[in-house]
Amino acid sequence: MLGGPINGISNFTHQFMGFLLSGISNSSTSIFYRKICAVSSSKQAGRQGFDQFGDLTLKAMPEEKALTITNGSSNKKFPHVLTVAGSDSGAGAGIQADLKACAARGVYCSTVITAVTAQNTLGVQDVSILPEDSVAEQLKSVLSDMRVDVVKTGMLPSIGMVKILHDSLKQFPVQALVVDPVMVSTSGDVLAGPSILDTFRHDLLPMADIVTPNLKEASALLGGLQLKTVTDMRSAAKSLHNMGPRNVLVKGGDLPSSSDAIDVFFDGKDFYELRSTRIQTRNTHGTGCTLASCIAAELAKGSSMLSAVKVAKRYVETALMYSKSITIGNGPQGPFDHGFKLKRNACNSSRLPLLDPSDLFLYAVTDSGMNKKWGRSITDAVKAAVEGGATIVQLREKDAETGDFLEAAKSCLEICRIHNVPLLINDRIDIAMACDADGVHIGQSDMPVNTARSLLGPEKIIGVSCKTPEHALKAWADGADYIGSGGVFPTNTKANNRTIGLDGLKAVCLASKLPVVAIGGINLSNARSVMELGVANLEGVAVVSALFDRECVVTETRKLHGLLTETVANAGSTDTN
């Protein structure tokens, strides 16, 4: 049931915003709440400004007029997220965070503003809710013209706005809807009354491709259910999924006594526990909005849902690390810097490892000889490996001509970017630089790590081959990001390669301060024995022939991924990704 407006603002809205203000303002600091006012409707009062331009009623624009980036003679569609959310004058959260997150992820962001808040690091001082007519007009303006890929919602302060959004998306369908159900403040106050909760449950969630509640929001949507453990989060994700969204991400940032931030992702079939380091900082205002916008941005670029969530989590974690000691404002919760990437080259004294160690889980290394033998191109081989679940790819093309290698690397990079899988180049720093690959893998007799680093800059991944604990310590001191250690078993793929065995691998892992991937003679029959070492820093296996010297690369990659996942799960770890 829709709530009727009273003086331009519904009863619910009063209740909602009252909660919002008491919730967002820290109870131990002064409350700056002054008033809630509704901005008068453009149809009633603010129309004069428009009238001088005549009737603004829109007709849908023809497709060719949609937003395009012109590149020479071809028109290239630019990924586009529309955020429907409230404005935060302090610019840490809301519309402003969404704009910054999308810009940082290379995606265009248009905006439909539902409310204007006066807000800073102390709390919320004032809220003006936009008239529903205005929200409807904003939606129509953008959706009718600009070929939006993904809509992301934040603060939806009235039942009517949810209904308007619902109708607009029926009229102008988009690829995906990301719902951040902004309802509960960080200080724990319930921000939404039962009436909006029902609308969220019955109207908003069934439309959503993903809903991203924090613990308190998930609890509110589930009628006050207590969520205290990861097991509780899993059942909450399942119950929320039953309400209709295609995917659910329950964010466990508020989970007590956990050194990691654990989120539970459920796609209706499988659960994934996604972990990231909990960064000690006051600058966390806007993380929820940013995460949801980043998911939307990655979806707009063509990612799968799970990849989009993983990338978004990593982006927020990295932004918090970069921003942990900045000071903006005097209050208890500060904003963070979404644009850290822009400055990375300028101040790289504390370089961050850009490799997510879990990327090393199933590391596919190509081999031109094997591709020739099976009559496939490098690109087809990489595509198959990535589709089968490879989590990182290395092009190891020992015999390729430079020009051919570069062209192949460029097309492999396109495939890997779509799947958010890093692509590294073996030995050839020049090729990595020319195609802007994600990094390189180098051996003990290849270019030294520090030279490679100065050529590639701080953002690229550098992996180093190590057979001994001494190699491992040096790789870390030289600024590498990961270690490839082997041959663990005898191999025909690399001539004259000394086998170090499982014991040699274990010694390297124990000495290492970097994540390690095992390599050499690893296949479906012995991968379990590698992962069952269960030693710190060992993140996965790198394989050549077990994937590429086979008839069907996708099938072999899937089988190996399944086996590794099962081994890790049986060993007691629940994070299979």
Ligand X SMILES: Cc1ncsc1CCOP(=O)(O)O
Ligand Y SMILES: Cc1ncc(COP(=O)(O)OP(=O)(O)O)c(N)n1
Q: What residues make contact with ligand Y under the rule CB under 6 A?
A: 363, 365, 394, 396, 426-427, 441-443, 446, 463, 465, 484, 494, 517, 519, 542
Q: Which of 354, 210, 359, 215 is nearest to 295 (CA)?
A: 210
261 forms beta bridges with 276
Binding to Mg ion by residue 430, rule CB under 5 A? no
Binding to Mg ion by residue 397, rule CB under 5 A? no
Q: What x-and-dash track marks residues 91-110 binding ligand X by CB under 6 A?
A: --------------------
Q: Is 501 a catalytic site residue?
A: no
C-alpha distances in angstroms, 120 versus 26, 189, 329, 480, 489?
Answer: 12, 18, 7, 40, 59
Q: Which does 521 bind (CB under 5 to 8 A by kind): ligand Y, ligand X, Mg ion, none?
A: ligand X
Q: What x-and-dash track marks residues 434-463 binding Mg ion by CB under 5 A?
A: ---------x--x-----------------
Residues 6+ apart with CB under 8 A from 492: 545
DSSP secondary structure code for residue 352 in this structure = P
Q: Is 186 a catalytic site residue?
A: no
CB of 530 to Mg ion, least distance (A): 21
CB of 473 to ligand Y, least distance (A): 17
Alpha carbon 285 to its chain centroid, in Å, reads 18
For 267, phi then psi, to 5°, come to -105, 15
> d(Cα 77, Cα 473) in Å, to the nearest integer?
47
Q: Which of 23, 90, 123, 286 is catalytic?
A: 286
Residues 6+ apart with CB under 8 A from 99: 83, 109, 111
Residues 6+ apart with CB under 8 A from 151: 81, 82, 83, 84, 165, 169, 174, 176, 177, 178, 296
Residue from 366, 493, 537, 567 in contact with ligand X (CB under 6 A):
493
Binding to ligand X by residue 520, rule CB under 6 A? yes
CB of 557 to ligand Y, least distance (A): 16
446 and 424 in contact (C-beta within 8 Å)? no
What does the CA dihedral 402, 407, 410, 412 come to, rounded to 10 degrees? -100
Q: Is 288 a catalytic site residue?
A: yes
Q: Which of 86, 114, 160, 289 is catalytic?
A: 289
Which residue stretch of 5-13, 164-172, 314-322, 422-430 sits at the interface with Mg ion (rule: CB under 5 A)? 422-430
Q: Which does 363 bind (CB under 5 to 8 A by kind): Mg ion, ligand X, ligand Y, none?
A: ligand Y
At 59, list the tokens.
């007709």
CB of 453 to ligand Y, least distance (A): 16
Q: Which is nearer to ligand Y, 219 or 465 (CB)?
A: 465
Q: Which of 251, 301, 383, 494 is catalytic?
A: 251
> d(Cα 543, Cα 519) in Å, to the nearest integer?
6
Residue from 487, 504, 515, 540 in contact with ligand X (CB under 6 A):
487
Residue from 286, 422, 486, 504 in contact with ligand X (CB under 6 A):
486
Residues engaged in binding ligand X (CB under 6 A): 486-487, 491, 493-494, 497, 519-522, 543-546
Residues in touch with Mg ion (CB under 5 A): 427, 443, 446
